[in-house]
């Protein structure tokens, strides 16, 4: 039997077909066509530069380890909301099910864009006419895909005559780094530490780096530390983007989950002169409305960049189905479910404060739904929590990059997603406290 060897020329395998057949004790002759020899390059070498995805790493860390059989496993590693979403979502999807037979518009429906514009104006008290539904808003199938795609419209081949730079906080959302690498930029990670309030000091970077910067990713409230940038910080960041002519991309997907006052938004930082140039903000219904599977969000800001975003979406975007647009429109128009959702998270942070206070560097985050706990060694604590308490968390080092001297600012931490209901979280937090 002959197996024509075509895989290794197309996929970066760690094992050759010949080795595989030998290991499986298969009597197969490997035939390598002349046209598929090793000197043929048909894979983008940038793919090898992508950082390992944290959830793949945690599976590799834990999947071979047994959890206690007498305890129900609880996954606190993934930020997937478990709260209920409004009943009207299902009703609207069902009522509009006939529209699944139509190709959806890339620009979204007028009702959707209008609902988003109205929400932005209400939520951030923006000046009349600053954000217009038809000029400054584009839908996206969840913000991860859109955040990634934005790098392809914002990163030029060169900046200041050199390879462009993309800046991001450290810890970072993995799609920021993946987008930077895929777009041909150098990702630079700016540490967010307790001593700087878990906010990156982009302005303190070397002048040569800032001159090469094409794009900055920023997240407020932050993931995982929950830090909220105040209006002065955002105004300074907008000013920095204009001083060095880079695109500022602000991920605000946790903006509706907070403990105290509502977090300010980057569009507010532009309200003084009404200038949105170079600024894009991203929002999603995944956390706000607990509909992660609906895959609906939006990007708003600079009208020229929105036009480019829509144009790029025509080629490689994932248009949202019309029934989903109908449900999303209703969700952006409704605040009652958002208030109730926020109250549930506040109750669970009260619980965490009672169980974990004065331990593991516990603090109550200003926003988001994560705990960022200092446990000394995040990987060791993750293994211990799984093998002794059947609790899955995420090591902080899986969300961070090493600095220039080989230190990883996330080594000491674990991230705990407070996404389950009160009873599950009460049990899980008690197990964490007892085990560690």
- Separation of first and last alpha carbons in the chain: 56
Scanning 35-165, the segments in alpha helix (DSSP H) are: 54-62, 87-95, 110-124, 143-154
Side-chain-facing half-sphere of 110: CA atoms under 13 Å: 0
Residues found in the chain = 436
CB 250 within 8 A of CB 283: no
State residue 40's pLDDT score: 53
CATH no. of 49-83+337-435:
3.90.1150.10
State residue 32's pLDDT score: 43
What would the two tokens of residue 323 be? 């029934």
CATH 3.40.640.10 domain position(s) in the chain: 87-335
For residues 373 and 252, what is the distance between their CA atoms, to the nearest angstrom? 23
Assign a CATH topology to domain 87-335.
3.40.640
State residue 164's pLDDT score: 98
State residue 28's pLDDT score: 45
The torsion defined by the Cα of 203, 208, 211 and 216, in degrees rounded to 10, comes to: -50
Which is nearest to 208 in space by CA: 180, 188, 236, 234?
188
Residue in the structure block whose two tokens are 């999603």: 284
Query: Strand 247-251 relative to strand 213-219: parallel, antiparallel, unpaired?
Result: parallel
Which portions of the chain are predicted below pLDDT 50? 1-38
- List CB contacts of 125: < 8 A, sequence separation 6 or more: 268
Q: Which long-range contacts (CB under 8 A, 24 or more apart) does 183-191 make?
A: 183/151, 183/152, 183/154, 183/155, 184/46, 184/155, 184/157, 185/151, 185/155, 185/214, 185/215, 186/212, 187/401, 189/400, 189/401, 189/403, 191/403, 191/409
State residue 39's pLDDT score: 54
CATH 3.90.1150.10 domain position(s) in the chain: 49-83+337-435
Compute φ and ψ for 26, nearest 5 degrees. Answer: -100, 135
What would the two tokens of residue 240 be? 């920095």
Full-model pTM? 0.89
State residue 42's pLDDT score: 67
């Amino acid at each position: 039997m002959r197996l024509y060897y075509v895989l290794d020329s197309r996929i970066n395998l760690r094992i050759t077909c010949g080795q595989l057949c030998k290991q499986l004790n298969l009597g197969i002759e490997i035939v390598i066509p002349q046209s598929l020899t090793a000197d043929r390059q048909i894979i983008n070498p940038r793919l090898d530069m992508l950082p390992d995805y944290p959830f793949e790493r945690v599976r590799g860390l834990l999947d071979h380890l047994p959890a206690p059989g007498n305890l129900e496993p609880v996954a606190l590693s993934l930020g997937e909301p478990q709260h209920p979403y409004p009943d009207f979502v299902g009703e609207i999807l069902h009522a509009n099910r006939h529209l699944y037979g139509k190709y959806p518009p890339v620009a979204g429906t007028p009702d959707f864009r209008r609902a988003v514009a109205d929400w932005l104006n209400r939520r951030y008290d923006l000046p009349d006419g600053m954000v217009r539904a038809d000029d400054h808003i584009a839908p996206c199938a969840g913000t991860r895909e859109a955040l990634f795609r934005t790098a392809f419209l914002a990163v030029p081949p060169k900046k200041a005559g050199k390879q462009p730079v993309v800046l991001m906080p450290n810890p970072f959302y993995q799609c920021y780094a993946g987008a930077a690498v895929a777009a041909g930029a150098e990702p630079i990670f700016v540490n967010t530490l307790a001593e700087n309030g878990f906010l990156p000091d982009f302005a303190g970077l070397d002048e040569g780096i800032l001159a090469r910067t094409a794009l900055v990713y920023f997240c407020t409230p932050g993931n995982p530390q929950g830090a909220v940038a105040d209006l002065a910080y955002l105004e300074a960041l907008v000013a920095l983007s204009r001083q060095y002519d880079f695109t500022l991309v602000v991920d605000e997907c946790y903006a509706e989950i907070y403990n105290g006052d509502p977090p300010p938004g980057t569009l507010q930082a532009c309200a003084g002169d009404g200038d949105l140039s170079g600024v894009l903000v991203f929002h999603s219904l995944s956390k706000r409305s607990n509909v992660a599977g609906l895959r609906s969000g939006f990007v708003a800001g600079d009208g020229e960049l929105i036009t480019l975003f829509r144009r790029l979406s025509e080629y490689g975007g994932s248009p949202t189905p019309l029934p989903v647009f109908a449900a999303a429109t209703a969700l952006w128009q409704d605040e009652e479910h958002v208030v109730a959702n926020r109250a549930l998270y506040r109750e669970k942070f009260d619980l965490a404060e009672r169980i974990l206070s004065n331990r593991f560097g516990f603090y109550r985050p200003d926003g988001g739904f994560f705990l960022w706990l200092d446990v000394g060694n995040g990987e060791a604590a993750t293994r211990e929590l799984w093998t002794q308490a059947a609790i899955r968390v995420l090591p902080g080092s899986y969300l961070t990059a090493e600095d220039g001297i080989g230190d990883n600012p996330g080594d000491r931490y674990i991230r705990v997603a407070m996404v389950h209901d009160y009873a599950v979280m009460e049990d899980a937090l008690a197990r964490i406290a007892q085990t560690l």
